[in-house]
Structure 1
């Protein structure tokens, strides 16, 4: 924490009284603390208290004084090494999740380029309300960190989850964040994403419904964890989520295989998420095929099985993760692929699970490792799924 610049956002919650102790702990740990308060927060604890403890004027509004000087939310967002919103009220969580921007703190949040930590504090029923849970899920999907509320007696007299995490816990969370070396630093990760398109003629092709969202989310998660990511992508409408990702665009299964063969030997981790065609037209036409007969026969030939081929070439220390999208006998089919293709993990999707599979922003997965240990996950955003997969790889490393 020594020398770290912390923006402490304080919102309208009875737990705001704890921010005096929190500010003191942050300063004692060597951090520079700039407090930003909402108007509601000032009714629970005075700006004078936090200004005295932080040794900086507390900011509450955009305008400093009648001369036209103002508190620049963009500069504040660039200044900070971390933005900590504690306590984060249900109202502030909702506004940040929706991108609303009607006070200085929410403007700073939208301007921040640093990691953002939310420490919720509210009554039990508010904390468990579907709206709040949905907003917290959105904030996680945006890449923010949530310091979970704790269980205990609440201001209402109820007992349950909703208490602001203790100041010591919050400081420990920040300290761990700054002391950790990125989990994937120095690792070379090769990822496939999207569909392939197999040409019938210059106009038509065979493809599938893959959008690439899952593969791009995985690439983003590993890049943010410090990895050198190469993304071999079939045709999608997506942009690379992180500027450090090296993207290689391909169209057909043969092109994807060629790109993978070239990058595979130098890769530490290979994640095969693309929906690669199993068959391709044996004799694609040079010119557009004209509509003539009522029936049209199309001869298909098998494409190269990328996962099986790379799995047979896998060197000691390389890790491979494959995906299996199934509609029946899901577990048995996934296990068969896991062992036949020499994978370390197989990620199973079932099209029978609502909200999973192609075209959704959510996914529901079951992961089986090479020892046949099973990890089941609930339906969540594809960004959250990508972080779950990252954590599985981190455990092995």
Structure 2
């Protein structure tokens, strides 16, 4: 029998929600794949499923009390924290998310999670309104920014009677995420990927600026996917709606000029570029050092062109006879294909990813996108509405396939 998790130690944290019963199936699946599973339970979790059940399935004692030290030769929570190749919290309640996000350590599990340096996989489960509460959203974003990976809750009938998002992901989904993190393919290992994300800010004065609606979500999704595929990722960010993902190098660049400089100096050490940022085409000719006061009924701003980063990358490649594989982005509202193909040629890109930002499900700030990808020699692929992470995964696959084809020629 194939046991891909042989030699891997997984620390499973189970917290106090009705979905705790699914921990039994999860343990069984992981043990069946060869993992050594060590379970830690909160006091609330023991009200829903007994430690004996999980001890029997894992063949290891279950830890519930930080003061219950059974072996004088070790400090249990430190020993288990150091031994883990991966930590999984399933189910993760809103309370545990808050503890993890804010560094609290008042029980066995939260104390151990502060002590481990292993990757963290979290599968939340709670009432739909709790999952959508701003405090929970903030905690999830904070944990994600530190590199935690989430298996998002499913939508369906909840134990509380509501129908909505909040149900713990099925054990097989969590197992798939575990496999991806511990033994999944790393097709971009050794590749250096540079991604721009968000909108640039062009200052008028210290409190006013010109910007756009870009949230940075598409660039962030590409960064996460490239990171998970083993790439060394550098993310050059303008203004974004959320914190950048963990596990990548983040470089802040507020203006188009700053982003241009940060990108260009990194090109010689870059294998793939995704220019997903929405860069302002113009900036004010003069920026006031102090807040401008109202002096008349009208105000005129004189604007000048910003450097065209994508154009500069293409020209740099052409002048040097080589360089990174370049993927540009085109946000359009009319004649999508015409404008995308024109941009592909003018900017000397290897691929252009175009989307109609006026289309439902494809605009700025959304979790989904609808894109068309165009390349040389008539390459075209149209992706239906899907999550931005799914779009990112497909874009990376396309880039790998085309790069491999170019290298064989």
Q: Tell me if both proteins adopt one fold, taking TM over 0.5 as the criterion.
A: yes
Secondary structure of 2:185's partner? coil
Q: Which residue of 2 aligns with 1:391?
A: 393
Cα deviation digits, residues 67-125 of structure 1 (max 9, x gap): 99997656544432122345x2xxx432233437664334545655434445678xxxx
Q: What is the CA distance between 1:242 and its match in structure 2? A: 4.3
Q: 1:274 aligned to 277, 284, 308, which one?
A: 277
CA distance in 1, matches of 2:25, 2:243: 44
Secondary structure of 2:63's partner? coil
- 2:304 equivalent to 1:301: yes
Q: What is the CA distance between 1:188 and its match in structure 2? A: 1.9
CA distance in 2, matches of 1:4, 1:350: 45
Q: Which residue of 2 aligns with 1:207?
A: 210
CA distance in 2, matches of 1:169, 1:334: 36
Q: Which residue of 2 aligns with 1:191?
A: 195
Q: 1:38 aligned to 35, 42, 52, which one?
A: 42
Q: Which residue of 2 aligns with 1:338?
A: 340
Instruction: Give the paired residue count.
Output: 364
Q: 1:229 aligned to 212, 218, 233, which one?
A: 233
CA distance in 2, matches of 1:174, 1:83: 9
Cα deviation digits, residues 333-372 of structure 1 (max 9, x gap): 5444422221534354748979964xx6x65533221125
Once the two structures are superposed, the pairs formed by residues 287-366 of structure 1 within 5 Å of their partners are: 299-311=302-314, 313=317, 318-324=325-331, 330=333, 332=334, 334-342=336-344, 344-346=351-353, 348=355, 350=357, 357=364, 363-366=367-370
Q: Do the aligned partners of 2:188 and 2:230 also contact (CA within 8 Å) in 1? A: yes
Q: Which residue of 1 aligns with 2:407?
A: none
Q: Do the aligned partners of 2:267 and 2:324 also contact (CA within 8 Å) in 1? A: no
Q: What is the CA distance between 1:196 and its match in structure 2? A: 4.4
- 2:10 equivalent to 1:6: yes
Q: 1:257 aligned to 256, 260, 267, which one?
A: 260
Q: Do the aligned partners of 2:18 and 2:48 also contact (CA within 8 Å) in 1? A: yes
- 2:385 equivalent to 1:376: yes
Q: Where does the alignment leave 5 or more consecutive residues of structure 1 unmatched?
A: 379-384
- 2:252 equivalent to 1:245: no
Structure 1 pair 333–262 and aligned structure 2 pair: CA distance change class (3 A): farther
Q: What is the CA distance between 1:278 and its match in structure 2? A: 1.5
Secondary structure of 1:376's partner? strand
TM-score (norm 2): 0.64
CA distance in 2, matches of 1:6, 1:234: 37
Secondary structure of 1:181's partner? coil
Once the two structures are superposed, the pairs formed by residues 158-169 of structure 1 within 5 Å of their partners are: 165=170
Secondary structure of 1:338's partner? helix
CA distance in 2, matches of 1:345, 1:351: 18
Secondary structure of 1:217's partner? helix
CA distance in 1, matches of 2:279, 2:170: 46
Q: Do the aligned partners of 1:216 and 1:241 also contact (CA within 8 Å) in 2? A: no
Q: What is the CA distance between 1:393 and its match in structure 2? A: 2.2
Q: What is the CA distance between 1:9 and its match in structure 2? A: 2.8
CA distance in 1, matches of 2:20, 2:290: 69
Q: Do the aligned partners of 1:10 and 1:35 also contact (CA within 8 Å) in 2? A: yes
- 2:66 equivalent to 1:59: no
Question: Once superposed, what is the RMSD of the aligned Cα atoms?
Answer: 5.2
Q: What is the CA distance between 1:191 and its match in structure 2? A: 2.0
Q: What is the CA distance between 1:321 and its match in structure 2? A: 3.4
Q: Do the aligned partners of 1:353 and 1:364 also contact (CA within 8 Å) in 2? A: no
Q: Do the aligned partners of 1:337 and 1:346 also contact (CA within 8 Å) in 2? A: no
Structure 1 pair 115–260 and aligned structure 2 pair: CA distance change class (3 A): closer
Structure 1 pair 299–97 and aligned structure 2 pair: CA distance change class (3 A): same
TM-score (norm 1): 0.66
Q: Do the aligned partners of 1:95 and 1:106 also contact (CA within 8 Å) in 2? A: no
Q: What is the CA distance between 1:59 and its match in structure 2? A: 0.7
